Structure 1
């Protein structure tokens, strides 16, 4: 459990620092260091945290069971993952109606992913991991709102290709995870028994 917790502290420490850092001219550390060095350091710290919490998550198996969800919740999780992956893709494609409506599609995707996995998994390591991601996404969204970051500007042009790409990439990622990569990544099948 130590590596899981330490990894989450490092990973979310970097993310929360970034969310709450001063953006005032002359006080923004990203401006002081330069964009490239700042992002390089941010990525390095995040990668260390990611590696530690993934290792710690796997090392906790078998984990104590806090609750046993009904089988139907695992199926609900499967349904929730499709829009989560489409929203995740929408965060990286040209601004379309999806991104404009959702404002911060990556954070919404993380909330859906974490919530769905909390519904389907009652092991201690899962509750710690997915609960942490859900809590972070809520905190970061509040921070964005306080900074006045409401996503794309109301008059931002909308690209239908952005939506088409988001749906296509999201569906492809869903199928890739469902039928192949989820068991490799997590050691657990994505499809419920």
Structure 2
């Protein structure tokens, strides 16, 4: 296996481990006290660095499939929806306040959207691994904490506000993608 894919897979594994650590080894995590937060944060930063180096240096030829151009538009719509779900909107608004894992759902939707428009092996590994993590995290949390109560219902105005912010954020993210050589609009 080439070094870029090894870095990518190591980053994904570290991402999974850091996020699931308190569920896999709750006694060990509790014994670490507040220092455990710092260790988990460092592990997450290291995982992002590894995934970034892995994906940026991997061969970007479409090995597995060639996505049609129109999927770019679907990707942008799904990413917009994902941005809304990862915002405080669902828990502070009136439409989705009863949804237990809006941020993980948004993250999973974001990863799925990226699978639609990228056909190379490295991207499939990265976003497929992150999508699987988000889905697994929901299951693990639901099993560990089966009792959950939704927050109080918010207002439609909050939903609208966070949707507007999500639209602006999508524009900013698209602009940054373009600067990095990954145009997402047009």
TM-score (norm 1): 0.82
Structure 2 partner of 1:113 = 110
Structure 2 partner of 1:10 = 14
- How far apart are the structure 1 equivalents of 2:147 and 2:92? 14
Structure 1 partner of 2:153 = 158
Q: What is the deviation of 1:176?
A: 0.8
Q: Secondary structure at the match of 1:8?
A: helix
- How far apart are the structure 2 equivalents of 1:108 and 1:98? 15
- How far apart are the structure 2 equivalents of 1:141 and 1:15? 11
Render the CA deviation track for 1:40-67: whole Å, top value 9, x for unaligned: 1111011001001111100003345211
Question: 5+ residue gaps in structure 2?
Answer: none
TM-score (norm 2): 0.85
Q: What is the deviation of 1:101?
A: 3.1
Task: Give yes or no for contact 1:102–1:108 (8 Å, CA) kept in 2.
Answer: no
- How far apart are the structure 2 equivalents of 1:173 and 1:9? 29
1:168 aligns with 2:168: no
Q: Secondary structure at the match of 1:97?
A: coil
Check 1:146–1:42 CA distance in 2 against 1; reply closer, same or farther (3 A cut).
Answer: same
Match of 1:132 among 104, 129, 134: 129
Structure 2 partner of 1:29 = 29
Task: Give yes or no for contact 1:103–1:150 (8 Å, CA) kept in 2.
Answer: no
Check 1:169–1:149 CA distance in 2 against 1; reply closer, same or farther (3 A cut).
Answer: farther
1:46 aligns with 2:47: no
- How far apart are the structure 1 equivalents of 2:147 and 2:178? 36
Check 1:56–1:21 CA distance in 2 against 1; reply closer, same or farther (3 A cut).
Answer: same
Question: 5+ residue gaps in structure 1?
Answer: none
Structure 2 partner of 1:85 = 83
Q: Secondary structure at the match of 2:107?
A: helix
Check 1:149–1:100 CA distance in 2 against 1; reply closer, same or farther (3 A cut).
Answer: farther
Render the CA deviation track for 1:105-160: whole Å, top value 9, x for unaligned: 11111111111111111111110001001110111111111123565x24x32332
Task: Give yes or no for contact 1:90–1:99 (8 Å, CA) kept in 2.
Answer: no
- How far apart are the structure 2 equivalents of 1:49 and 1:11? 5
